[in-house]
A and B are shown apart, each in its own frame.
Chain A
């Protein structure tokens, strides 16, 4: 918060208004649930969400743990960031592991060139929610990201199978949120629903927030696939014609290495990123998520099954 409230009109800046709304949502969710948890991937949106949650309860410590759904195909820089932040804030970190789910035969690894562990996250996520009896699960999704998200409520009800039913959502009016649920059901709360990609970057700049280094331009060995630059790694199978070269790149979102693409960029500071985001003509997901480009309704289908 900039704490600059201008003049006698008490006008609040858009970032202060968004921050205040998110903090209100987070407090409301915690007050009305028994076992909250915050999904933390180490990406910029979850870093923002965690920061807002810390602000909401300051000077007390965060009254709930954070959980990472670990695909096992992470960028090392992101894991390093995750562990450092969690240690600094003295919060408890839980890990729901996709690798473990594969090893125990609960899910099957996809095969082929476009194999990704993205969808495989659903099983360990839901299992962890069940085992820990979490009834309020904070996610860092934003409505401007994607069509299916644009209609999801801030407090999004999930039945005992964690399913989202887009046809049967609870009306959400004023700032009155309905968190009621029965045992075994839960609520997904999305406190940063109303933030856009630009708002997030502006806030990161204003607050001088730390982020994983892969958001900033760096040298990396990459190859091209469907117009995206994929990081060369053990987690992704290259086809014969896909040649590896070194390029100055950065990532616009961070996720599973097998489906998160980079792009050429020399933006190495938050200010340069803001300038780049203002000028760009491609959406965040279009620029970096191979998984969402497969089908127009890919996100909606995953969400129905209980995805983030």
Chain B
């Protein structure tokens, strides 16, 4: 069978910039829309009195949202080309939904940020770019939409691209690209455009198909958070003791010398097991079972790494937190449950240093709390040591969530800057 690669996308744009239409267009032109879906939206378009089939309806969600005519939660869409299978996190762009965008961006390989060519770069566009860079989405494509409404003008497009490039220089975006599109008409989405002969780049889909993403993973720092201890208690596997988990980063090989945290015990990898047989080596992303030589006592929440390349170990952590709850706030002195890799502990907010104004990137130093959709820099003290890396080097071991201990709700998403003093 053909080897296809899995690529995760996050799309965002302000309301009415044409995000739903763009996604609908992508599905339609790649022939991922089924007859019954098409009939359903043709029907709905007619009922609403539209002259044309509203492709945006394809990605409309739950009933309440349909009634309000807006998208209010992250929804996931799937489509494939012969080369890639895409998982698209469709996130609404309004400021109220910062948390949804952070959610979508947390796993994305590519962020598609939409702007309306007539409106240009808005405060919201800057916020979307900031969040994508904060969450370290490796590739950002600015899609300048509705080019048909500005006479496909190169000048308009160039001005928008320049302004954005200028702003993005203040952010840390590894790979930034631009494409002029008309989602409604179909220019430069899946197919090229005769209306914009001045544009020499590729259509959006081609970019999405060819951006190199495999090397975005951290393949250097070997980290294996232990998820589950496998002890079969069967006659056939009486003495078997294996550590199950998904490799967070790096590559593990049979025979590798390893260190187990927090004990600091060293050993070597006896085997890397899977249901389908043993592996000589396994890279980031694989779910495997690792067996070690010698008697080691390891449990869930421990981490296996290499002796000469270990994560930081500590209880005082400097992090940027996005607040996701409207029933509580984050304040100095508050306590939460923290989940980091496979480890759960408790965390105390030692300090709230500042809050970001996410549109201007200014720091508000006298902030006393973080409310829903606000982002700020905090210092945490945890009840047990965490084994972590800076988020910018490692998305897996550099991220955590905060959970309200009364309601059990996930209330915060954190990215680690490093150890705090």
Measuring CB to CB, which residues of chain A are less than 8 angstroms from any residue of chain B? 1, 3-6, 9-21, 23-24, 27-28, 30-31, 54-61, 143-144, 147-148, 150-151, 157, 166-167, 169-176, 178, 180-182, 193-194, 196, 198-199, 202, 205-206, 280-283, 286-287, 296-297, 300
Contact = CB atoms under 8 A, between A and B. Distances in A.
Given A175-B396, A176-B401, 14 more contacts: A1-B276, A10-B284, A14-B5, A14-B85, A27-B244, A31-B227, A59-B230, A60-B231, A171-B103, A172-B103, A173-B413, A175-B246, A178-B401, A296-B63
Interface string B37-77: 10010000000000000000000111110000000011111
A179 to B, nearest CB: 9
B28 to A, nearest CB: 12
Interface in B306-345: 324, 337, 339-340, 342
A205 B214 CA distance: 25
B395 A174 contact: yes
A193 B76 CA distance: 9
Contacts of B219: 10
B25 to A, nearest CB: 18
A206 B410 CA distance: 37
A9 B215 contact: yes
17 contacts: A3-B274, A5-B281, A12-B283, A12-B285, A14-B4, A19-B287, A24-B287, A55-B276, A56-B244, A60-B237, A60-B240, A61-B234, A144-B77, A151-B61, A173-B107, A175-B246, A205-B1
A167 B60 CA distance: 15
Contacts of B60: 147
B201 interface: no
A306 B282 CA distance: 39
Given A27-B228, A60-B234, A178-B408, A169 B73 contact: yes
B34 A283 contact: yes
Given A58-B275, A166-B73, A167-B64, A194 B87 contact: yes
Contacts of B6: 12, 14, 17-18
A261 to B, nearest CB: 13
Contacts of A54: 275
A293 to B, nearest CB: 9
Nearest to A149: B76
Contacts, number: 196
Given A1-B275, A206-B1, A174 B399 contact: yes
Interface string B255-285: 0000000000000000001111101011111
Contacts of B100: 171
Most chain A beta-carbon neighbours within 10 Å: one of B227, B283, B410: B410
Interface of B: 1, 3-6, 34-37, 40, 60-64, 73-78, 80, 84-85, 87, 99-100, 102-103, 106-107, 214-215, 217, 219, 227-228, 230-234, 236-237, 240, 244-246, 251, 273-277, 279, 281-287, 289, 300, 324, 337, 339-340, 342, 395-396, 399-401, 403, 408-410, 413
Task: Give me the 3 closest cross-chain CB pairs, A-B, nearest first.
Answer: A286-B36, A10-B283, A23-B287
B132 to A, nearest CB: 14
Contact of A282 (B1, B34, B282, B408): B34
Nearest to B247: A20
B338 to A, nearest CB: 10
Given A148-B62, A173-B401, A282 B36 contact: yes
A191 to B, nearest CB: 11
Given A23-B246, A178-B408, A171 B99 contact: yes
Most chain A beta-carbon neighbours within 10 Å: one of B231, B251, B289: B289
A23 B246 CA distance: 8
Contact of A59 (B37, B237, B246): B237
A20 B230 contact: no
B77 A150 contact: yes
B277 A3 contact: yes
Contacts of B215: 9
